[in-house]
Amino acid sequence: MEPLNQKKILVTGGTGYIGSHTTVELIEAGFDPVIVDNLYNSDAQVVDNIQKITGVRPLLEVFDLCDSVKLGKFILKHKDIQAVIHFAAYKAVGESVRNPIAYYRNNLLSLINLLDVMKRYEIPNLVFSSSCTVYGQPEKLPVTEDTPLQPATSPYGNTKQIGESIIRDTTCSDKNLKAISLRYFNPIGAHPSALIGELPRGIPENLVPYLTQTGYGIREELKVFGNDYNTPDGSCIRDYLHVVDLAKAHVVSIKRLFEKKNKSDFEVFNLGTGHGVSVLEAIRSFERVSGIKLKYKITGRRPGDIEKIWADPGYANTELGWKTLSSLDQAMKTAWDWEKMIRSNNL
Ligand code: UD1
């Protein structure tokens, strides 16, 4: 078999949160990732830090995947790309409600342009960044891959559902194309080196960056969105997994496609720990690892929030041979180390 280091992988959104961690894992597994990113929600300096971690500097080309001409020219220069991991997308739920057209245009047009060039240049392997949001509030927990999808509650969620449909339909029509859609639960934390992590612009919408910023004193207090849910402590439950564990799932998915171990042309995997954690438990985890008493208050529910959801990762465990290794506290500790690192460097 051809050595892995000759396999060039296009990583779209490779300077973003999950993309950068995946690029590190790809390099460490012997692949040759090339990044395309428009730097809308990230920074070119991330490539320097990927190089510090791995000793390898991945190529970064800055352009928007919605620009099909630029994408075509890029692929012509890199005809040896053998697989694509597609992260590049907008991901803020609230913003998508306020500006749905931007979400549909960006998330779907970039995907369509990619599939177009993949077909034209016969690139046969795709890993797609999806979300547990496609399940809405499931009737039965934990969530397996057979759990019925619910109508999306936001344009962002809808772009993930429509994106999966577009890919599934394309694999049906194009016998050359194989795809794996990874449905992430809630990724948190940062690389243990504290050189890469999540860099939310402005006020964070997600729990863990808000929590660590509050711990650092940048936000006055964390608002816990509701304590009257039908859960043991009344706060919402999610399945928080360490981003490095999540990144490794992309590497095993790419290997599965290269080794032709896929059972169908379009496969779906849930990626989570299998454990539900409430907002109040997440706060206690932060307090344990940081030694800081967090300032928080209970406020009203956040509109559109799901009460409780966690994964059944059994299919990914057996089929991909992948499982999460980090505990909640370990992941939270890396999130806290990262917060301290970015503040001390004024990032
Ligand atoms: C949300 C989206 C999900 C998307 C993800 C992207 C929904 C229902 N889900 O996930 O589709 O993939 O963002 O980042 O919108 N919380 C607080 N206080 C805060 C922030 C959050 O109490 O300041 C609570 C929320 O109510 C929730 C939990 O923390 O119970 C996690 O919230 P968040 O990090 O925003 O993730 P999701 O809502 O699960």
* Ligand 1 atom 7: residue of nearest CA: 305
CA of 279 to the centre of ligand 1 (A): 10
Terminal Cα-to-Cα distance of the chain (whole angstroms):
43
340 Cα–ligand 1 center, Å? 22
* Protein residue closest via CA to atom 3 of ligand 1: 133
Q: Say yes or no: CB of residue 186 within 6 Å of ligand 1.
A: yes
Q: Which of 251, 257, 301 is nearest to 29 (CA)?
A: 251
Identify whether the C-beta of residue 126 lies closer than 8 Å to the C-beta of residue 178: yes
Question: In angstroms, what CA-CA distances link 180 with 58, 195, 270, 328?
Answer: 23, 29, 11, 26
Distance CA 94, CA 108 (A): 18
Catalytic residue among 90, 135, 156, 229: 156
Q: Give this prediction's pTM.
A: 0.97
How far apart are the CA of 4 and the centre of ligand 1, in A? 37
Print pLDDT tens along the chain (347 aa): 555 558 999 999 999 999 999 999 999 999 999 999 999 999 999 999 999 999 999 999 999 999 999 999 999 999 999 999 999 999 999 899 999 999 999 999 999 999 999 999 999 999 999 999 999 999 999 999 999 999 998 999 999 999 999 999 999 999 999 999 999 999 999 999 999 999 888 999 999 999 999 999 999 999 999 999 999 999 999 999 999 999 999 999 999 999 999 999 999 999 999 999 999 999 999 999 999 999 999 999 998 899 999 999 999 999 999 999 999 999 999 999 999 999 988 76
Instruction: Specify the residue with its C-alpha closest to ligand 1, atom 38.
Output: 305
Best mutation site among 208, 239, 279, 299 for ligand 1 pocket (most ligand atoms within 8 Å of CB): 279
**Is 240 marked active-site?**
no
Q: Which of 135, 159, 236, 237 is the pocket-test mutation for ligand 1 (most atoms within 8 Å of CB)?
A: 236
| Sign of the alpha-carbon dihedral angle for 173, 179, 185, 188 | negative
Q: SS in 3 state form for 61-99?
A: EECCCCCHHHHHHHHHHCCCEEEEEECCCCCCHHHHHHC
Q: Which two tokens stand for residue 4?
A: 């892995």
From the CA of 97, how far away is ligand 1's center (Å)?
Answer: 15
